Structure 1
Amino acid sequence: MILYEYPLQERIRTYLRLEHLFMHLQQLLPRVDAMDHHFALATLFEILEVSTRADLKTDLLKDLDKQKHALDSYRGNPAIAEAVLDEVIGHLDQCFEALNSLPGKIGQTLTESDWLMAIRSRIVIPGGTCGFDLPAYHAWQHKPPAVRQAQLLKWAETLKPMADAVALLLKLLRDSGAPQKVIVNNGQLQQSLPQGRTFLLLRLALDEALELVPEISGNRLMVSVRLLHQGEDNRLQAINEDVSLELALCA
């Protein structure tokens, strides 16, 4: 099964983009090649670009606090394991404290480095990090792999509170949705969302063997899915047959 996710709110869109970038960064950091470290730096700068929203830190803190209060309401419920509940709430508290203790905006430590910002300004230009453009960066790429890696880990560590908060919030969000089998008639599905709840994320699982790609759109009132067939030439074409898939709405 291939899992597709579609955010129904801009804040969740930002969280998913950050998660995507942090996953790339985690794959690049253990490597030792200078080219891998170049792309690790590029990914760090992409994370900074996404997280420069003035209210991102506030949004994360509010969501962590909201989740904590929601889970606190389950205390005393015989169907809930108190030990597991305490563990999750403790994790929320840790993420809140770590994020709240960061000075200023997220990534401020990195943006205060003139050397990093010089690379950041050139890395978006095609070929902008050539040796003649950034000789200091060229020299850094020739340092021993362990030296480069140690610096990358140090820079990435300044973003860890944000990464941990995003990972925990998305995990709790995903766990809130129960997958259900749905039949998509003639390759198209349009579904009104139940009133009284604010759904934030749609998750859709498709059998890989079908070679279908979902085109998803949605808002707080309705979601729409159109299934397209991906042929050998990778062109997408609409289908007119019934297909079974798994759908989950997370609030």
Structure 2
Amino acid sequence: MSQSNSGWVLYEHPLNERLRTLMRLEFLMETASTAMEREAAIDSRTAVEALIYTLNILERGEVRSEIIKELDRLSGGLARMAEHGQWAADEVRKETERCRTLLRRVGEPDAAMGQALREDQLLAAIAQRFGLGAGTCNFDLPSYQRWLSRPYSERRADLQRWLDSMADLRATLDFALRLQREGGQFQEETAPGGSWQRRIPFDNPPIQMLRLQVPAEDSVIPEISGNRHFVTIRFLRQPDTLTRPESVNEDVPFHLARCDL
């Protein structure tokens, strides 16, 4: 996810597969919740597509267990931060209790993890057409066209019902990713000749996510790779969409946050 912020462009890069999955789910649910607030039928289409892509990820059996493991891991990370005095004790207690509440809720059989999406016949029909290019045209799915032709208030009610069926999942994502982002402070860095590398000591907490800010007036694009122990950032420029990105040869200033909660 990238965004502009006070003259800087923000990039986020997860360094493990679990966090990649959580961030993809966050992106899809943000897309759905934003699109459903607009009245045009094309925006309702965008929201429905985001919900079905979310469901496709959730259909992988390990997602719930990975979410539970992440909450368990964060609970331990909060305890470590309290022990080292990195966060105020009251704040740690509040976040720890929130983490335990979510952990109990996500583990329940009736947790809101998208069951209404699985049971909905219209969404099932749309999902079956996703493998075809433009497979949800008007002539492909008359029932979908009829739904899109309904008043916005009715479409929004359905979209809200589908989104509410993932309320516990959304709450967990908001909590887990907020803690990660707040766990890393931005520091000024420079990439000599457009390249930056760091080896992470094995006795340091593993880095979960990198957050990187580059000046908005500069057209540089960061190419980030690495794992919990070694990170490389290479800066590129792409003057226009017809040109392949090229390596930057001059020094590039940027801000970097290492999120290791």
The residue aligned with 2:3 is none
Asked if 2 retains the 8 angstrom alpha-carbon contact of 1:182 and 1:244, the reply is yes
1:185 to partner: Cα distance: 0.7
Q: C-alpha deviations, 1:169-191, integer Å up to 9, x for none?
A: 11111222222211111111121
Q: 1:78 to 1:207 in 2, by over 3 A?
A: closer
Q: 1:7 to 1:74 in 2, by over 3 A?
A: closer
The residue aligned with 2:234 is 226
Asked if 1 retains the 8 angstrom alpha-carbon contact of 2:199 and 2:229, the reply is yes
Q: Which ranges in structure 1 are unaligned for 5 or more consecutive residues? A: none
The residue aligned with 2:128 is 121
How high is the sequence identity, in percent, across the aligned residues?
A: 30
Partner SS, residue 95 of structure 1: helix
Q: TM (normalized to structure 2)?
A: 0.87
CA distance in 2, matches of 1:84, 1:104: 26
Give matches, 1:72-87, under 5 Å: 72=79, 80-87=87-94
The residue aligned with 1:98 is 105
Counterpart selection for 1:186 from 173, 189, 193 = 193
Asked if 2 retains the 8 angstrom alpha-carbon contact of 1:54 and 1:105, the reply is no
Deviates more, 1:103-112 or 1:162-171: 103-112
1:81 to partner: Cα distance: 3.7
Q: 1:181 to 1:80 in 2, by over 3 A?
A: closer
CA distance in 1, matches of 2:43, 2:13: 30
Asked if 1 retains the 8 angstrom alpha-carbon contact of 2:112 and 2:164, the reply is no
Q: Counterpart amino acid of 1:117? A: A
Asked if 2 retains the 8 angstrom alpha-carbon contact of 1:57 and 1:105, the reply is no
CA distance in 2, matches of 1:191, 1:11: 22
The residue aligned with 1:45 is 52
CA distance in 2, matches of 1:59, 1:203: 22
User: Stretches of 4+ moved more than 4 A in 1?
Assistant: 72-80
Partner SS, residue 209 of structure 1: coil
The residue aligned with 1:240 is 249
1:215 and 2:237 matched: no
Asked if 2 retains the 8 angstrom alpha-carbon contact of 1:52 and 1:106, the reply is no
Partner SS, residue 217 of structure 2: helix
Partner SS, residue 48 of structure 2: helix
1:106 to partner: Cα distance: 3.6
1:148 and 2:155 matched: yes
Q: CA RMSD in A?
A: 2.3
CA distance in 1, matches of 2:11, 2:91: 29
1:24 to partner: Cα distance: 0.9
Deviates more, 1:40-49 or 1:78-87: 78-87
Tell me the matched-pair count. 251
Q: TM (normalized to structure 1)?
A: 0.90
Q: Counterpart amino acid of 1:22? A: M
Partner SS, residue 124 of structure 2: helix
CA distance in 2, matches of 1:74, 1:233: 45
Q: Counterpart amino acid of 1:202? A: L
Q: 1:93 to 1:232 in 2, by over 3 A?
A: same
Q: 1:78 to 1:59 in 2, by over 3 A?
A: closer
CA distance in 2, matches of 1:56, 1:204: 27
CA distance in 1, matches of 2:85, 2:130: 55
Q: C-alpha deviations, 1:142-185, integer Å up to 9, x for none?
A: 21211111011001111121111112111111222222211111
